[in-house]
Amino acid sequence: MLPVLLLVALASPVLSTPKKGFGLCGAAYRCGDTHALTGTSWWYNWHHDMGEYHNHKCTTKTPHGEYVPMIRFEQDVTSAKLPSNSKHILLFNEPNALGKGYMTPEKVAGFWKTIESKYPNQILVGPGLTSCDTHPEWCIGWYDRFFKACPKCRMNKIAVHAYHCDPYKIMQSLEKISKHFGRQLWLTEFACETSYNIDDNIRFMQTLIPLLEKASFIERYAWYCTRMNRSDKNHNWNLLNMDSPSLTKLGHVYNNIH
């Protein structure tokens, strides 16, 4: 009888949670990627449209889960063409990190009224700041400057990234940020930065994800990411196998854990 019950359990569909999502790394996209992660309810790709799906001329059914577009760079504020049915919009990626996307809080605030008027019915999320887990005061300071520059800006949720390997430290920092602003957070990128071992990341997930699911101050979270190239030192973070839209050992854990 036990083998029959086991087969039934394995065949049962994985129930998705409204919080769990993933970042889809488009460079190594395979048709069907989103359908492999049945335990998730949303995803994003750091772009304002589902370019990977259309560019690969996928013939499978439409992608699984809610697609959340991102206005990533300042030129996207006026030029981006978001899907008409978008419910949420992610705004800017790591503007507090030196690089192509760097912007001061005041500069981001300068774009906000344009964004609000262009998307009056969408829930605005972001910007997604880096190092919020290790230095929450940096992110609080960045957002304080933003709200000082634009005190009446409609920012519904705050987005942050976390790559610390201590799940409890991450939760402590995120709760501090959420309480300071009285807003729920979206953890739009997370992984254990110093781990290049799948089993270490599994243990990290097994501790952190139940904490994220339980925390009322976390509205959504997304693992980084679905699939990185083999040349990337962090390819052991991959949720999907390199050559097919199927789950890795790590992906199975992420897909099933609540």
- The reply to whether 208 falls in a domain is yes
pLDDT value of position 201 = 94
In a domain, 2, yes or no: no
Domain, as residue range, for 160: 17-256
| Confidence check: pLDDT of 5 > 50 | no
Q: Based on the structure, what is the number of domains in the chain?
A: 1
| 10 part of a folded domain | no
DSSP state string for 150-205: -TT----EEEEEE--S-HHHHHHHHHHHHHHHT--EEEEEE--TT---HHHHHHHH
Residue 253: which of 230, 214, 233, 223 has the closest Cα? 223
Q: Is residue 9 part of a domain?
A: no
Task: Supply the pTM of this predicted model.
Answer: 0.92
Asked if residue 60 has pLDDT above 90, the reply is no
| Pairing, β 42-44 against β 20-23 | parallel
Report yes or no on 6 lying in a domain.
no
Q: Could you tell me if residue 36 is inside a domain?
A: yes
Q: Is residue 85 part of a domain?
A: yes
Distance CA 197, CA 193 (A): 11
**CATH code for the domain of 157:** 3.20.20.80
Q: Is the pLDDT of residue 12 over 80?
A: no
Distance CA 70, CA 62 (A): 19
Angle at 163 between CA 162 and CA 164, to 5 degrees: 100
* pLDDT, tens digit, 9 for 90 and up, residues 218-235: 999 999 999 998 777 777
